[in-house]
Chains A and B, each alone.
Chain A
Amino acid sequence: MSIILDHVNYIYEEDTTMAYPALTDVNLVIPDGQFIGLIGHTGSGKSTLVQHLNGLLKPTSGAIYYNGADINDEGYDKKLLRSKVGLVFQYPEHQLFEVDVFSDVCFGPKNLGLDKKEIQLRAYAALKQVGIADEYFYQSPFDLSGGQKRRVAIAGVLAMKPEVLILDEPTAGLDPKGRDEILDQIAKLREETGMTVILVSHSMEDVAKYVDRLIVMNKSRVVFDDTPAAVFAHYEELEQIGLAAPQITYIMQALREKGLSVDTGITTVTEAKEAILKALRG
Chain B
Amino acid sequence: MLKDITLGQYYQTDSVIHRLDPRVKLVSTVVFIISLFIVDNFIGYLIAAAFLFAVIKLSKVPFSFMVRGMKSILILLLFAVVFNLFLTPGEVLVSFWKLKITKEGLRLAVMMAVRLMFLIIGSSVMTLTTTPNHLTDGLEKLLNPLKVFKVPVHEIAMMMSIALRFIPILLEETDKIMKAQIARGADFESGNLFKKAKSLVPLLVPLFISAFRRANDLATAMEARCYRGGEHRTKMKPLVYAKRDFMAYAFVFGYLVLCIVFGKILF
Whether the Cβ atoms of B179 and A89 lie closer than 8 Å is yes
Known: A17-B62, A89-B179. 16 other contacts (CB 8 A): A13-B3, A16-B65, A56-B179, A82-B182, A86-B183, A89-B176, A89-B183, A94-B176, A94-B210, A107-B202, A110-B185, A111-B184, A111-B185, A111-B186, A157-B184, A160-B184
Cross-chain contact B187 with A87 (CB below 8 angstroms) = no
> Nearest Cβ in chain B — how far from A98, in angstroms?
8
Interface class of chain B by DSSP: helix
**How near does chain B come to A77, taking the closest CB pair, in angstroms?**
11
Q: Does A65 contact B (CB under 8 A)?
A: no
Among A51, A96, A97, A112, contact of B185 (Cβ-Cβ < 8 Å)? A112
Cβ-based interface call for B224 (8 A): no
Q: Mark B50-64, 1 if CB is under 8 A from A, else 0.
A: 000000000000100
Q: Is A108 an interface residue (CB 8 A)?
A: yes
12 contacts across the A-B interface (CB closer than 8 A): A56-B183, A83-B185, A89-B179, A94-B176, A94-B180, A95-B177, A97-B206, A107-B184, A107-B186, A107-B202, A108-B184, A111-B185
Residue A142, interface by CB 8 Å: yes
Please tell me if the beta carbons of A95 and B181 are within 8 angstroms of each other in the complex. Answer: yes
Q: How far is the CB of A257 from chain B (nearest CB, A)?
A: 46
Say yes or no for A128: interface residue by CB 8 A criterion.
no
Q: Which 7 interchain pairs have the tightest Cβ spacing?
A: A111-B185, A97-B205, A95-B180, A108-B184, A87-B183, A89-B180, A97-B202
Q: Check A156–B187 contact: CB distance below 8 A.
A: no
Question: Chain B residues with Cβ under 8 A from A147's Cβ?
Answer: none
Verify if A54 is at the interface (C-beta below 8 Å from B).
yes
Cβ contact within 8 Å between A92 and B202? no
Does the CB pair A97–B183 fall under 8 Å? no
The answer on a CB contact under 8 Å between B185 and A160 is: yes
**Beta-carbon contact of A157 and B183 below 8 Å:** yes
B62, B185, B206, most chain A CB atoms within 10 A: B185
A127 CB to nearest B CB, Å: 15
Interface size bucket, A side?
Answer: 20 to 34
Instruction: Please name all residues of chain B whose beta carbon is closer than 8 Å to the beta carbon of A54 when the two chains form the complex.
Output: 183
A116: chain B residues within 8 A (beta carbon): none
Q: Which residues of A in the span 16-54 have a Cβ within 8 Å of any Cβ on B?
A: 16-17, 51, 54
Residues of B close to A273: CB separation below 8 A:
none
A79 at the interface (CB under 8 A from B): yes
Chain A residues near B177: list those with CB within 8 A.
94-95
A82 → chain B closest CB, angstroms: 6
Min CB distance, A185 to chain B, in Å? Answer: 20
Does B209 have its Cβ within 8 Å of any Cβ on chain A?
yes
List, in ascending order, chain B residues with CB within 8 A of A94's CB: 176-177, 180, 206, 209-210
Interface centre among A16, A17, A95, A110 (most CB of B within 10 A): A95
CB neighbours (8 Å) of B206 from chain A are: 94-97
- Show the binding face of A for B, using Cβ within 8 Å: 13, 16-17, 51, 54, 56, 79, 82-83, 86-87, 89, 92, 94-97, 107-108, 110-112, 142, 156-157, 160
Contacts of A160 on B, CB cut-off 8 Å? 184-185
B171 → chain A closest CB, angstroms: 13
**Assembled-state Cα–Cα distance A96/B207 (Å):** 10
Cα–Cα, bound, A189→B116 (Å): 60
Is there contact, CB below 8 Å, between A156 and B184?
yes
Asked if B201 is an interface residue, CB under 8 A from chain A, the answer is yes
| Per-residue contact bits, chain B 215-235, to A (CB 8 Å; 1 contact, 0 not) | 000000000000000000000
Write the B150-185 contact mask toward A (1 if CB under 8 angstroms, else 0).
000000000000000000000000001101111111
Q: Please indicate the chain B residues that have their CB under 8 angstroms from the CB of A111 in the complex.
A: 184-187
Q: With the chains together, A196 CA to B64 CA distance in Å?
A: 45
Complex Cα–Cα for A157 and B182 (A)? 11
Give complex CA distance A54, B179 in Å.
Answer: 11
Name the distance in Å between B42's Cβ and chain A's nearest Cβ.
Answer: 35
Residue of B nearest to A17 (CB): B62
Q: Which residues of B contact A142 (CB under 8 A)?
A: 209
**Which of chain B's residues have a CB closer than 8 A to the CB of A107?**
181, 184-186, 202
Tell whether, in the assembled complex, residue A82 and residue B187 are in contact, meaning their CB atoms are under 8 Å apart.
no
Question: Hey, which chain A residues are within 8 Å of B182, CB to CB?
Answer: 56, 82
Chain B residues within an 8 Å CB radius of A97 = 201-202, 205-206
Q: How far is the CA of A247 from the CA of B65 in the complex (A)?
A: 49
Q: Within 8 Å CB of A82, what residues of B?
A: 182-185
CA separation between A1 and B1, bound complex, in Å? 34
In the assembled complex, the CB of A14 is this many whole angstroms from the nearest CB of chain B, namely: 10
- Given the complex, which residues of A lie within 8 Å of B209, measured CB to CB? 94, 142
Q: How far is the CA of A138 from the CA of B185 in the complex (A)?
A: 23
Min Cβ gap B12→A in Å is: 9
Distance between Cα atoms of A87 and B185 in the complex (Å) = 11
Q: Could you tell me the distance in whole angstroms from the C-beta of A208 to the nearest C-beta in chain B? A: 27
Residues of B within 8 A of A56 (CB): 179, 182-183
B157 to chain A, nearest CB (A): 29
Chain B, residue nearest A88 (CB): B183
